[in-house]
Amino acid sequence: MSRVLPSHRVSVHRVASGGMSLFAPTGLLGPSSTLDKEDTVLAPPSFTLNGLLGPVASTSALAASSSESGPSKVFTPTGLLSSDVNGTKSAPIELPYDDDEPPTVAQALGIPPPVSEYVSPFTVRATTFDGKTIHLRKKPPRRNRLLLGSFTERMGNLLDVPIHRLLEGLSTDTAAKLQASDIQAATHPESEAITEDTLWVDRYRPRQFADLMGNERVARETMAWVKQWDWCVFGKTKAGKKRPREGDEAFDAMDEYRRPREKLLLLSGPPGLGKTTLAHVVARQAGYEVMEINASDARSGSVIDDRIRPALESGRAVGSTKPVLLVIDEIDGATGAGESSNTFIHKLIQLTSDKPRKKNRKGHDNNAKRPILRPIICICNDQNAASLAKLRAVALQVRFVRPADVHTVKRLREVCEIEGLKADGRALTTLVGIARGDLRGCLNTLQFIKSRNHEVTEAVIRNATVGMKEADTSLLSVVNSIFSPLTRKRVKELGLTEADESKFVGRISREIDGCGRENSVAVACFAHYATVHQHDANFSRYEKANEWLVTFDLLSAAMYSDGDFALSQYIAYTLVPFYPLFNQRGGQRIERSQADWEAAVQTRANEEIYKSLSRCLQTASTRHGGDYRHLVGTPVMQLEFAPCLNRIISPPLRPVNSQVIKPEERAVLARLVDIMATLELQFYQERAEDGQLTYRLDPPIDVFVTYDGKRAADIAVSRYAVRHLVAGEIEAQMISRKVDIIEKGKRGKHDFFDKSSPAKKPGDGGSLSSPTRAPDGADTPNKRARVEPKPVDIADKPPTDFFGRLITAPSLSTTKAAERKNVEKKYRVTYKFKEGNSAAVRKPIKMKAFM
Amino acid sequence: MSLWVDKFRPRALDDLHYHHNLSARLKSLAASGDFPHMLFYGPSGAGKKTRITCTLKQLFGPGVEKLKIDQRVFLSPSKRKIEVNIVQSNFHLEITPSEAGNYDRVVIQELLKEIAQTQQVDLNAKQRFKVVIINEADSLSRDAQAALRRTMEKYMSNMRIILCANSTSRLIAPIKSRCLLMRVPAPSDEEMQTVLTHVARRAYFDLPPEAAQEIIKDANGNLRKAILVLEALKMQSPDLTGPLTIAKPDWETYCQKVATLIVTEQTPARVMEIRTKFYELLSHCIPPTVILKTVAEAVVSQVDETLKADVMHWAAFYEVRMRIGSKKIYHLEAWVVKVMSLYKQSFYSLDMSDF
């Protein structure tokens, strides 16, 4: 029996003690009951001696004690009777006799037992209706009865497991261990060694809604939300009668499934307050089967499609008849921060926001995504985690807050009583204070203490919770604890003396270390030290602070650039001095400052602009024989080139038509356009938000003369009309240049062949160049020579082809080629494609007109 | 069309307007046949690169002006791709290894070996060697410089290296000892004046001497800047008459503002204000050392004589730290606070002596 689950044991003890109030050691009972009438009544002929009797005894005892009547208490020990009272274990045939028997038993027991026959101390003799005598094995004596008996009364309402489950568990356990415990009990009846194989956290986890502690509002809110799904999940028949309650208006009128407006519930709060437990309890209470996804599962976006969607669509878990409720635990660790559409969070939101479609009901659109008809509860610690930003918008948020310490202490005291720990309220209050209301942490600590001593005093608590103090190490809390001293309340909670309180180095450095983001802490310190309102006449304090920041930077630079991570243990200490320098009682709470981050973002954007400018310079230098390349260098471009270039490209032009401007202005315009086109700087037309058209410089190098959002004063603001003019000119220039490049490319080839053909055939060159040369296609060298002149006319090739085909059959013999040549030389036609001009006149015309 | 800086850049050693001694020396070196490795150093805008290209032309003839610019991709040991722009002719090659950041060693090793191990194939080439120009040599990492050492000796027959740097202080001694050091000092005001008038003449306009003086004063020995400013000025007010205001680069004006802020008030609120200004400057990609130097100079011009030395001392002190460290803004602010404290102290001590 030593390994029975404690909750079971509790009940057993209670029963036993109830019995014991009348009976001394059970061994004596055996003989007394032999002559009892009840015994004869109850023992059926079919009754056989087996191992089950032990448990029978105990279960019956339970039932008896729960009725709390004196007689039944008396009645318990025999084991036989109890089985009848409850009727769960022994044969059902016996049941009819049960109910009227107890009083007689009591009477019978009142009679001093006659010692007539020899009965083994471990058996009970009983007689059947037929007068047969049978021996029943007696329930073995229980250990710890006396130890725990005194707590019985107070524990009466603490039964947190349904009774039938208790009974089941108890009976199987006892059946298995009966023999062993029998012997053990006989040899060491006083043994108190209890080995524990479950955590208290699990043992005292609430199993029912009513057991939930603290946060009643949170629990109710959660339950109410889950209940809102009833209409959708269970159909109106079940929940119909409850409809006209106020919860009704939460339903989305547009939703044909009458789901709640928010399809997700987001539970958030510090660890150890019972978020997961709440979700599970509520789900079970509301009749759902829980499907849990937590940090131990893969949580990429694909999981949604692979696992969650099928489960939710089918509506119930495998092998269960209950509808499924999805609990996503520790969701703040899931992927979701990025913009990518494949993150877990993104997919989850998508999943819930799928619009129900009428067709789906009829099921002839299987591929379409079906709406989700099951509730989803998400649980996280940090409500403001970056990855949850999108989720927050669509979820009903329920925040857990630390319950009043009184409640936690009360629950702890109850647990201590059950476990036989002597705990004074003061010690427990301290414990809760240190743990910041973390009930799980408290229970674990208590269990740990229990394993060593039986008394919980303040000293013991302090000893056991040495490491627990810095449980909360988010960036903001660390920064806040640097800039403000411990609150009086916290000092009291931690039980620090004056001397302890003044010792800050260890505390602060541990917090900074625990946070693990020294760089961010440093940035936050940097951002806030100057905002602390303290009189500092000669800046000595600020100097010191900066000295430490510089030291921090040197250390961390050495650490990261040289990989010298042995330095990391000293890093935290460089930030500790901010505490004595700047801590301030009652200063306002520090919020995160974005200045540094914003500057970094801005820097990155501007670097990108510089890069594109340097790319422009590179291309310009390839076109102009490496001319611009000297301006690309790192300091030169930012310091000299960018400011000057901005001035060069913004001359004070008047917004007039390019045809009518003064000659000197025309020169300036031409130059401006030249430079801009070379550098591929362009004005792009853009429509602003207010519908106004603007020209934007691209790449936007004008940011480099814009400081504090203001352009340099000496640069004239170029007006829309001017930019329009310039943009048009640049475009024309770019186009003409493109044409130039194409033609240059053609000419380049042309030149190449011109040069190379004489090199190959110096003798033939002269004859080839004369266009009127008569074709003689007979000899092979000439044939090859025919092939060569073709490229000469590459620039005019399309017309050549065109004419050739028009005039002759599409054969490409050498003679034809020559003919073509003659024809082409006589009537030379060139086309020029003018991009952007569409002033064409369409008119039917014969080919003859060209020739 | 090119900017004037490029358009009127001298192409031959004979065309150079100043440092004629240097030109003569380079000319004789190019003619001598045993051209050494060289290190050109001097302030920005003094004409180092111009002299290098002129020397190359002297060495190889007009062929060096036919440039080809392409991009090469190198693979770092960690398989990261590094893109480096290479400007090359048949006779020389120009790289800026600092483009590769921390991986400049890879570029130096691979590229230089490749060049060094191939011989000049053009039989008509005047010289048997190719020249590699390394720009911004003072930003080469220590590893890259070490990689350069042996290559410079081993492949002397195939390759010469010309380094171009602002100062020699960041080059390791072995490199310096392998090179012929060429200092290109900043031009004097008169020299700049001649260059500017030359540019104006070539661009067909008259430059009033007062305007030239203004520009020169502002440029502070940086000829490139002077010509850029001249061109900007010409674009802004084409006739160049009347009172001219030389526009300082915006970042410089901004630094002046910061300096004024420091001097006028010394309070925590002011520290915060200056911090946002520093952030603004840094986000415009102005190198932090330049910011510190410019602001310090501006502060020095405004404070009492007794403080000047201290202000500069601390600027130097924090610049060193800034170079070692990684988070520049801390060091900038540390300097500001230091200067404010100095200023306050001197102020109070003055008061004390009065009473």
Q: Is A188 left (phi over 0), alpha (psi -120 to 50) or beta?
A: beta
| Residue A243 pLDDT | 45
The tokens describing A384, both together, are 């403001």
**Is A548 an 8 Å CB contact of chain B?**
no
**B345 chain-A contacts, CB cut-off 8 A:** 538
| Residue B193 pLDDT | 92
DSSP class of residue A206?
-
Tell which of A532, A639, A669, A702 to mutate to test the B interface (max B CBs under 10 Å). Answer: A639
| CATH number for position B299 | 1.20.272.10
Query: Looking at the partner chain, which of B87, B233, B345 has a beta carbon nearest the beta carbon of A626?
Result: B87
**Is A740 an 8 Å CB contact of chain B?**
no
User: Binning pLDDT at 50, 70 and 90, where does residue A311 land?
Assistant: confident
Tell which of B283, B291, B323 to mutate to test the A interface (max A CBs under 10 Å). Answer: B283
- Note the CATH number of domain A215-399: 3.40.50.300
For the cut 80, the answer to whether the pLDDT of residue A362 exceeds it is no
Is beta strand A422-423 parallel, antiparallel or unpaired with respect to A324-328?
unpaired
Separation in Å, CA of A295 to nearest CA in chain B: 32
Of the ranges A164-178, A484-498, B84-98, which one carries the lowest mean pLDDT score? Answer: A484-498
Q: What angle do CA B318, B320, B325 make, to 5 degrees?
A: 90
Beta strands in B129-191 (DSSP E): 130-134, 159-165, 180-183
B10 and B107 share one domain: yes
CB proximity under 8 Å: A 321-380 to B: none
For the cut 70, the answer to whether the pLDDT of residue A186 exceeds it is no
B153 and B14 share one domain: yes
| Residue A420 pLDDT | 79
In a domain, B228, yes or no: yes
Q: Tens digit of pLDDT for each residue in A787-800?
A: 444 444 444 444 44
CATH 1.10.10.1590 fits A405-469, yes or no: no
DSSP, residue by residue, B38-96: EEEE-STTSSHHHHHHHHHHHHH-GGGG--EEEEEEEE-TTS-EEEEEEEE-SSEEEE-
Contact A550 B49 (CB under 8 A): no
In a domain, B213, yes or no: yes
B171 and B229 share one domain: no
For the cut 80, the answer to whether the pLDDT of residue A136 exceeds it is no
B273 and B341 share one domain: yes
User: Binning pLDDT at 50, 70 and 90, where does residue A158 land?
Assistant: low
User: Binning pLDDT at 50, 70 and 90, where does residue A835 land?
Assistant: low
Separation in Å, CA of A431 to nearest CA in chain B: 42
| Residue B241 pLDDT | 67
User: Binning pLDDT at 50, 70 and 90, where does residue A472 land?
Assistant: low
When pLDDT is averaged across residues A488-513 and rounded to a whole number, the result is 76
Tell which of A640, A661, A673 to mutate to test the B interface (max B CBs under 10 Å). Answer: A640
A532 → chain B, closest CA residue: B268
Separation in Å, CA of A721 to nearest CA in chain B: 18
In a domain, B315, yes or no: yes
Contact A599 B283 (CB under 8 A): yes
In a domain, B241, yes or no: no
Alpha helices in A624-662 (DSSP H): 634-636, 642-648
B220 and B259 share one domain: no
Separation in Å, CA of A450 to nearest CA in chain B: 51
Domain boundaries defined on chain A: 6-192, 215-399, 405-469, 475-584, 598-734
Closest to A148 (Cα-Cα) out of A312, A32, A7, A344: A7
In a domain, B245, yes or no: no
Query: Looking at the partner chain, which of A557, A618, A636 has a beta carbon nearest the beta carbon of B325?
Result: A557
Query: Looking at the partner chain, which of B228, B271, B286 has a beta carbon nearest the beta carbon of A644?
Result: B228
Stretches in chain B below the pLDDT threshold 70: 1, 240-244, 350-355
Q: CB–CB of A102/A71 below 8 Å?
A: yes
B31 and B146 share one domain: yes
Separation in Å, CA of B13 to nearest CA in chain A: 18
| Residue B183 pLDDT | 93
Contact B251 A643 (CB under 8 A): yes
**Is A409 an 8 Å CB contact of chain B?**
no
Contact A606 B284 (CB under 8 A): yes
A601 → chain B, closest CA residue: B283
DSSP class of residue B172?
-
Q: Which residue has the higher pLDDT, B301 or A184?
A: B301
When pLDDT is averaged across residues A209-234 and rounded to a whole number, the result is 80
**A622 chain-B contacts, CB cut-off 8 A:** 69
For the cut 80, the answer to whether the pLDDT of residue A160 exceeds it is no
In a domain, B242, yes or no: no
Contact B321 A621 (CB under 8 A): no
Query: Looking at the partner chain, which of B6, B249, B283 has a beta carbon nearest the beta carbon of A639?
Result: B249
d(Cα A470, Cα A481) in Å, to the nearest integer?
Answer: 11
Query: Looking at the partner chain, which of A526, A634, A667 has a beta carbon nearest the beta carbon of B98?
Result: A634
B132 and B209 share one domain: no
d(Cα B270, Cα A530) in Å, to the nearest integer?
Answer: 9
**Is A707 an 8 Å CB contact of chain B?**
yes
B194 and B302 share one domain: no
**B289 chain-A contacts, CB cut-off 8 A:** none
| CATH number for position B113 | 3.40.50.300
Query: Looking at the partner chain, which of A522, A539, A632 has a beta carbon nearest the beta carbon of B266?
Result: A539
B88 → chain A, closest CA residue: A626
Q: Tens digit of pLDDT for each residue in A658-680?
A: 677 788 788 888 888 888 888 88
The tokens describing B187, both together, are 């031009």
**A712 chain-B contacts, CB cut-off 8 A:** 247, 250, 253
**B228 chain-A contacts, CB cut-off 8 A:** 640-641, 644-645, 648
When pLDDT is averaged across residues A643-667 and rounded to a whole number, the result is 80
**Is A448 an 8 Å CB contact of chain B?**
no
B82 and B165 share one domain: yes
DSSP class of residue A306?
I
d(Cα A273, Cα A251) in Å, to the nearest integer?
Answer: 30
Q: Which residue has the higher pLDDT, A93 or A353?
A: A353
A651 → chain B, closest CA residue: B236
**B222 chain-A contacts, CB cut-off 8 A:** 640
For the cut 60, the answer to whether the pLDDT of residue A43 exceeds it is no
In a domain, B198, yes or no: yes
Query: Looking at the partner chain, which of B65, B286, B318 has a beta carbon nearest the beta carbon of A638?
Result: B286
B133 and B25 share one domain: yes
For the cut 70, the answer to whether the pLDDT of residue A549 exceeds it is yes
Contact B2 A628 (CB under 8 A): yes
Query: Looking at the partner chain, which of A538, A557, A639 has a beta carbon nearest the beta carbon of B345?
Result: A538
Separation in Å, CA of B181 to nearest CA in chain A: 21
Amino acid at A88: T
d(Cα B9, Cα B14) in Å, to the nearest integer?
Answer: 12
| Residue A479 pLDDT | 84
**Is A664 an 8 Å CB contact of chain B?**
yes
**A648 chain-B contacts, CB cut-off 8 A:** 3, 228, 231-232, 235
User: Binning pLDDT at 50, 70 and 90, where does residue A336 land?
Assistant: low
B93 and B173 share one domain: yes
Q: Which residue has the tokens 């954007």?
A: A605
Q: Write the burial class of residue A830 (CB in 10 Å: 0-12 exposed, 13-18 middle, 19+ buried).
A: exposed
| Residue A833 pLDDT | 63
Strand partners, A123: A137
Tell which of A553, A619, A632, A666 to mutate to test the B interface (max B CBs under 10 Å). Answer: A553
d(Cα B23, Cα A795) in Å, to the nearest integer?
Answer: 48
Query: Looking at the partner chain, which of A539, A626, A633 has a beta carbon nearest the beta carbon of B69?
Result: A626
Structural domain including B227 reads 189-236
d(Cα A170, Cα A174) in Å, to the nearest integer?
Answer: 6
B108 and B146 share one domain: yes
Q: Tens digit of pLDDT for each residue in B192-208?
A: 999 999 999 998 888 88
A671 → chain B, closest CA residue: B1
Domain count, chain B: 3
